[in-house]
Amino acid sequence: MPEITSPSACQTVITTFETTPGTCQDLLDALHDAYESFISKQPGFIAAGLHVNDAQTRIANYSQWTRREDFQAMLRSAEMRKRNRDINELCRSFEPVMYDVEAVFG
């Protein structure tokens, strides 16, 4: 389970996907498969979550990694490059961005 703390000892990556109601479920299926069969097994992976808006036009993905280099190595792998090409076909755009936790409330 993702745990959000500040300061954080891990690297946070938030990826947003712009999609359509017609392809949202296909994209969710591809992301589920990517996490279950590949991403979650990569060195440095800690946890992730997928979120979808009510209109099914945006998916947000929150993931945590031990180090930014672990995330970057996963992205550069042949397996993930192929998956990202397939994912790109299911959405208008997607952008992974690395963040540092600034503050936590609640």
Residue 15 placed within a domain: yes
Residue 86 placed within a domain: yes
CA pair distance 50, 61, nearest whole angstrom: 5
Residue pair 78/25 in contact by the 8 Å Cβ criterion: no
Q: Is the pLDDT of residue 1 over 80?
A: no
In percent, the amount of the chain with pLDDT more than 70 equals: 100
Residue 43 placed within a domain: yes
Q: Is the pLDDT of residue 37 over 90?
A: yes
pTM equals 0.92
- Rounded to 10°, the helix 24-37/78-89 angle is 170
- Given this model, what pLDDT does residue 41 score? 98
Residue 4 placed within a domain: no
Instruction: Give 63-94 pLDDT, tens digit per residue.
Output: 999 999 999 999 999 999 999 999 999 999 99
Residue 55 placed within a domain: yes
- Given this model, what pLDDT does residue 106 score? 85
- Given this model, what pLDDT does residue 6 score? 86
Residue pair 66/10 in contact by the 8 Å Cβ criterion: yes
- Given this model, what pLDDT does residue 2 score? 75
CA dihedral 32, 34, 37, 42 (to 10 degrees): -120
Residue 57 placed within a domain: yes
- Given this model, what pLDDT does residue 34 score? 98
Number of domains in the chain: 1
We report the CATH number of the domain holding residue 92 as 3.30.70.100
Write out the residue range of the structural domain in which residue 20 sits: 11-99
Instruction: Give 14-31 pLDDT, tens digit per residue.
Output: 999 999 999 999 999 999
- Given this model, what pLDDT does residue 3 score? 82
